[in-house]
């Protein structure tokens, strides 16, 4: 029987030398206001047990981890028709790259790069009038916490400085792969990215991905087993961008990262595991967070491989 609390305590100790490595994202100015050496890790098991270390109740900007929740909601709403407008392959390019979009005729490689998430947001807008509030309410339900909210200063900061995303949405529109006005899609997307959550809340929200699509603590069906398998597969192959191969090699779990420094990982059948540390490596994934996940799967020998 593994003593998860002791393992997390050991990781907290062993990770300390790595907390100064990497850089906090500053291309969204408000994100740079975080304490750079913060660290938290939360493990939630499908049997109801949970273990935490560090600042696991402190909320941070979930950024691209929101792409996991918007994809889940879009799969509920549109199911397989999504894949007529978005691919399922790793991009091999940075999360905010524009180059592939041109020669692939406006079809984003996958739903976890920015272009893919903009199309996912557009799909949500086609089904639900208020994509801001619908996504927020969906996340609140997923973790049974009604005080989860947007960080409006982060959303505004990105709206004012996210020139690449503005270009991307307009580019998608030029290929007729957005039904709505680019500004409307962007405004919803920036708000989704700005949602603030803790590692404890994120791990709880994503537990259905490790339990065949059903939240084990409420028995609520979120997705069917087939859709759940697909999301886990997409996390493994596309969730950590152009370092997805290195991440699978080192950690061996499906995962989704965000430039706020969070990484949310799953082990189907067993647990969800969320880590946060704001300094990023050159690919935009948490430096110490990746190391902590690697230590976890090495110590426990629990990975999908």
Separation between Cα atoms, residue 43 and residue 304, nearest integer Å: 16
Q: Does 227 bind ligand DON (CB under 6 A)?
A: no
Of 110 and 211, CB closest to ligand DON: 110
Which residue bears the tokens 């020998």?
A: 301
Q: Which stretch binds ligand DON (CB under 6 A): 41-49, 127-135, 220-228, 254-262?
A: 254-262
Q: Does 135 bind ligand DON (CB under 6 A)?
A: no
Q: Does 258 bind ligand DON (CB under 6 A)?
A: yes
Q: Which residues ranging from 183 to 212 are in contact with ligand DON (CB under 6 A)?
A: 193
Q: Does 112 bind ligand DON (CB under 6 A)?
A: no
Which residue bears the tokens 């900007």?
A: 61
CA quadruple 258, 275, 26, 191: dihedral sign = positive
Q: Does 259 bind ligand DON (CB under 6 A)?
A: yes
Q: In terms of DSSP bridges, do strands 196-197 and 50-54 run parallel, antiparallel, or are they unpaired?
A: unpaired
Q: CB–CB of 218/208 below 8 Å? A: no
- DSSP letters for 138-197: HHHHHHT-TT-B--HHHHHHHHHH-HHHHHHHHHHHHTT--SS-HHHHHHHHHHHHH-EE
- DSSP letters for 25-58: --SSGGGGGS-TT--EEEEEETTS-EEEEESTT-
Q: Which residues ranging from 80 to 99 are in contact with ligand DON (CB under 6 A)?
A: 95-96
**Would you say 282 is a known binding-site residue?**
no
Separation between Cα atoms, residue 274 and residue 199, nearest integer Å: 5
Min dist. Cβ of residue 239 to ligand DON (A): 9
Of 7 and 288, CB closest to ligand DON: 288
**Would you say 249 is a known binding-site residue?**
no
**Would you say 114 is a known binding-site residue?**
yes
Separation between Cα atoms, residue 218 and residue 9, nearest integer Å: 29
Of 158 and 294, CB closest to ligand DON: 158
Of 116 and 252, CB closest to ligand DON: 116
Give me the 12-41 binding string for ligand DON, x by CB under 6 A, dash otherwise: ------------------------------
**Would you say 110 is a known binding-site residue?**
no
DSSP 24: E
Query: From the annotation, which residues make up the binding site for substrate?
Result: 64, 114, 158, 165, 189, 241, 259
Query: From the annotation, which residues make up the binding site?
Result: 64, 114, 158, 165, 189, 241, 259
């Amino acid at each position: 029987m593994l003593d998860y609390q002791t393992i997390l305590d050991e990781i907290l100790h062993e990770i300390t030398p790595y907390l100064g490595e990497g850089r906090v994202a500053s291309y969204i100015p408000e994100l740079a206001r975080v304490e750079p050496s913060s660290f938290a890790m939360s493990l939630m098991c499908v049997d109801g047990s949970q273990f935490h270390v560090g600042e696991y109740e402190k909320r941070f900007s979930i950024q691209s981890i929101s792409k996991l929740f918007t994809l889940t909601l879009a799969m509920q709403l549109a199911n397989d028709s999504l894949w007529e407008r978005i691919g399922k392959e790793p991009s091999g390019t940075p999360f905010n790259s524009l180059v592939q979009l041109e020669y692939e005729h406006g079809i984003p490689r996958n739903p976890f790069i920015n272009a893919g998430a903009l199309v996912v947001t557009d799909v949500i807008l086609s089904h639900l009038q208020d994509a801001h509030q619908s996504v927020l309410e969906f996340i609140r339900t997923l973790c049974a916490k009604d005080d989860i909210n947007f960080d409006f200063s982060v959303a505004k900061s990105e709206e004012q400085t996210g020139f690449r995303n503005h270009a991307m949405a307009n580019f998608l529109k030029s290929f007729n792969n957005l039904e709505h006005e680019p500004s409307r899609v962007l405004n919803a997307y920036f708000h989704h990215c700005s949602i603030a959550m803790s590692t404890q809340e994120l791990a709880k929200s994503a537990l259905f991905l490790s339990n065949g699509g059903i939240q084990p603590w409420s028995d609520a069906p979120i997705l069917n087993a087939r859709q759940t398998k697909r999301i886990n597969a997409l996390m493994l192959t596309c969730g950590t961008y152009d370092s997805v191969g290195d991440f699978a090699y080192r950690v061996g779990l499906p995962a989704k990262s965000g430039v706020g420094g969070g990484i949310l990982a799953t082990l189907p059948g067993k647990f969800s595991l969320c880590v946060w540390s704001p300094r990023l490596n050159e690919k935009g994934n948490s430096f110490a967070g990746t190391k902590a996940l690697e230590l976890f799967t090495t110590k426990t020998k629990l990975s999908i491989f």
